[in-house]
């Protein structure tokens, strides 16, 4: 045992960790990050925007290809209103399923509206390029939703999906993309 007092100017010797303690630190850190991400996904997918049971804002939007569409024009049908953009990867991944299901359920009274949130200056051009190159069946469903429409629907993230009943009331809203099976279940519930 030494009675020497350590010199405060000298650095402390490095702490050496065993390989197992390094692995435990790595696992704990990874689990912590995964937990934060999972909570973020859960929070993002919660219902959002205009509350269920409320009348949907009455808006008129320009259609891709010309003309306009007012949501009131769709009274008597269940409306699946999807806010999306050509720069939104989850939106583009989900879009083929939305178009497929819209066609499948159209005869049961479903109307699909794909409300583009692309920048108003470039939206007609970029949407046209996307429709022509990737998904021509989307064209009849596209409208252009400006900032005013997005604000009325409280759209804070893309994609955001709304279901409106046959009287134009919101039955559900959700942020984040869904699988085809999840979309099908939501459509079935909305049509009941």
Over residues 187-192, the mean pLDDT reads: 95
pTM score, two decimals?
A: 0.75
| Burial track 81-111 (b if 16+ CB lie within 10 A, e otherwise) | bbbbbbebeebbebbebbbebbeebeeeebb
Question: pLDDT digits over 152-176, tens only?
Answer: 999 999 999 999 999 999 999 999 9
Q: How confident is the model at residue 50 (pLDDT cuts 50, 70, 90)?
A: confident
Contact 71, 59 (CB under 8 A): yes
**Does residue 2 carry a pLDDT above 60?**
no
Between 94 and 25, the higher pLDDT residue: 94
Is residue 57 over pLDDT 70? yes
For 48-191, CATH gives 3.40.30.10
Residue 126 has a pLDDT of: 98
7 pLDDT band, cuts 50/70/90, is low
Q: d(Cα 39, Cα 33) in Å, to the nearest integer?
A: 10
State residue 82's pLDDT score: 98
With pLDDT > 90 as the criterion, what percentage of the chain qualifies? 72
72, 152 in Cβ contact below 8 A?
A: no
67: pLDDT strictly greater than 70: yes
Say yes or no to pLDDT of 146 above 90. yes
Contact 161, 174 (CB under 8 A): yes
Q: Give the mean pLDDT of 43-61.
A: 77
Mean residue pLDDT of the chain comes to 86
């Amino acid at each position: 045992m030494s009675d020497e007092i350590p010199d405060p100017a000298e650095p402390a010797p490095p702490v050496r960790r065993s390989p197992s303690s390094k692995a435990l630190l790595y696992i704990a850190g990874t689990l912590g990050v995964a937990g934060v991400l999972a909570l973020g996904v859960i929070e993002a997918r919660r219902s959002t925007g205009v509350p269920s049971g409320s009348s949907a804002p009455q808006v008129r939007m320009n259609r891709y290809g010309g003309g306009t569409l007012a949501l009131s024009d769709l009274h008597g049908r269940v409306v699946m209103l999807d806010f999306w953009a050509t720069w939104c990867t989850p939106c583009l991944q989900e879009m083929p399923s939305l178009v497929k299901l819209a066609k499948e359920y159209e005869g049961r009274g479903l109307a699909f509206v794909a409300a583009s949130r692309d920048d108003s200056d470039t939206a007609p051009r970029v949407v046209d390029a996307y429709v022509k190159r990737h998904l021509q069946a989307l064209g009849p469903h596209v409208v252009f939703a400006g900032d005013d429409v997005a604000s009325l629907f409280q759209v804070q993230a893309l994609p955001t999906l709304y279901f409106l009943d046959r009287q134009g009331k919101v039955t559900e809203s959700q942020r984040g993309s869904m699988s085809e099976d999840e979309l099908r279940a939501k459509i079935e519930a909305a049509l009941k």
